[in-house]
Amino acid sequence: MATDPIITELNTWLEENWDPDLTVEQWWDRLGSSGWAAPAWPTEWFGKGLSRDEAVGVARAVSAFGALGAPGGLGVQLAGPTIVTHGTDDQKRRFLPGIVKGTEGWCQLFSEPGAGSDLAGLQTRGERDGDEWIVTGQKVWTSTGHYADLGMLLARTNPDVPKHKGISYFGIAMSQPGIEVRPLREMTGRALFNEVFLTEARVHDDARIGGVNDGWAVANTTLANERSGLGAGGSGGAAAALPGTKAGHLRRRAGDFANPKGSARASAGGGAGIAGLYPLLVDTARNNGKIADATVRQDLMHLYTLNEIARFTSARVAGARAVGKTPGLDGSTAKLAMSRIVRLVRDLGPRIVGPAATLHSYADGPAKVALAEAAHISALPIVTEAVLFAPAPTIYGGSDEIQRNIVGERVLGLPKEPSNDRDLSFKDLPKNAVR
Ligand SMILES: Cc1cc2nc3c(=O)[nH]c(=O)nc-3n(C[C@H](O)[C@H](O)[C@H](O)COP(=O)(O)OP(=O)(O)OC[C@H]3O[C@@H](n4cnc5c(N)ncnc54)[C@H](O)[C@@H]3O)c2cc1C
């Protein structure tokens, strides 16, 4: 098989630069400066001008090499591409280095208690005060908000126009008196996301990404990047280390976060990692004799088939892109495919593991390992995490119902749901309670 020249170049660079004894900060400084942390970005802005699919290949190759990948979290994945597309050169100089080198962590301040699927119905207000904006409202589901230095904020800056036309997009500093972040504990035992209260928080106008009241177009760039990173053929390869000043990872040893060379770590959190659960479940079923159960073998085959279809779909999309076609629907279909895989793993995993699947360690690290050893099932923590986290991927980045609506309207040509909210001004629309 011909060797990919991009991966050859990357591996040469990694041979010369990867050192597990660097701190995370030192390593990300090298990776970010070289263009390999965000290779799909333009060469003049910390990237290498590669296609998204080539960039996915780069992320996987960094991981396979045994080096720590690009900063995880929402900076490289969402904030960076949004600023690359809509930011001014000053904003690119201000924000992109911190994103690509992981020195500043980002969160996404989009969803609100009354605005999730109907994101354009958001009620957080932004009012102009000279060179600044004063922001008041509540956000929810804010992943890694407790570790973030900056937030991608959507605020309503004009309630007198239809809802999509009065929203602006800001990069707001999270550490300020007007912002309170309260973690929400999930049933996995972790607190991945938060509710965020903004009470007269301030953001300078020079941190407004895109035009005043033009934030919906900017938000769509963020959402498109979110969807394309979430499907069953999603990117994978993001580092386990968290960027930014608050998570405390920057000063730790880079090698402690890297996968062993040649390994593919299975993760329960969806994306490409979910495919990695298949061999783990097969091994467990072989070891404990459950493979003798014909219905287990049948469902393992079903899982294998869904994974393969997802892989083929990704290949088809990559092929279409390579010849200059835009495969419009890959985001929605890939995300729906991932939901099916996640649900099957949720049901099949406990059947293979047996009653021990009721044992979940709510503490990370040694406690998880000790529980798995006591139960004599090494896959136990991954399976219980997959079960308890299973609802999440079917909701975030647009729920399954919303993805089906998109497929219904854009592929099947079904009529849109009747509504008058594209014409009426936002202030005249019926709403849930306002804070
Ligand atoms: C793990 C996780 C992490 C998240 N992280 C973030 C984050 O970092 N930042 C952020 O801003 N948000 C985040 N979200 C929020 C996420 O984007 C929303 O949960 C999602 O958009 C759904 O909105 P909602 O929860 O308000 O549900 P709703 O919109 O209230 O939906 C409730 C139910 O109604 C259905 N529904 C709604 N509208 C329709 C319709 N028109 N047709 C058919 N069915 C419909 C939905 O499918 C769902 O089943 C996260 C969510 C999760 C689960």
152 within some domain: yes
144 within some domain: yes
Give pLDDT < 70 ranges for the chain.
1-2, 230-239, 262-274, 326-330, 432-435
Q: Which domain holds residue 38?
A: 5-70
Looking at ligand 1, which atom is closest to the CA of residue 107? Answer: 8
Cα–ligand 1 centroid distance for 117 (angstroms): 5
Which one from 54, 112, 195, 226 is the annotated catalytic residue?
226
- Average pLDDT over the chain reads 90
Clarify whether 9 is annotated catalytic: no
3-state SS, residue 411? coil
pLDDT at 84: 96
Please indicate, yes or no, whether residues 145 and 209 belong to a single structural domain of this protein. Answer: yes
Choice from 111, 124, 143, 417 to test ligand 1 binding pocket (greatest atom count within 8 A of CB)? 111
249 within some domain: no
25 within some domain: yes
Helix (H) or strand (E) holding 195: strand 193-204
Please indicate, yes or no, whether residues 44 and 137 belong to a single structural domain of this protein. Answer: no
Cα–ligand 1 centroid distance for 109 (angstroms): 13
* Strand duo 150-156 + 179-184: pairing: unpaired
Please indicate, yes or no, whether residues 394 and 270 belong to a single structural domain of this protein. Answer: yes
* CATH (domain of 217): 2.40.110.10
Looking at ligand 1, which atom is closest to the CA of residue 112? Answer: 26
Please indicate, yes or no, whether residues 273 and 385 belong to a single structural domain of this protein. Answer: yes
State pTM to two decimals: 0.91
pLDDT at 269: 38
> Considering its fold, how many domains does the chain have in total?
3
Choice from 107, 118, 139, 141 to test ligand 1 binding pocket (greatest atom count within 8 A of CB)? 141
Tell me the C-alpha distance between 73 and 223, whole Å: 15
pLDDT at 285: 97
Give me the DSSP letters along 81-147: HHHHHH--HHHHHHHHHHHHTTSS-EEEE--BTTBSTTGGG---EEEEETTEEEEEEEE---TTGGG
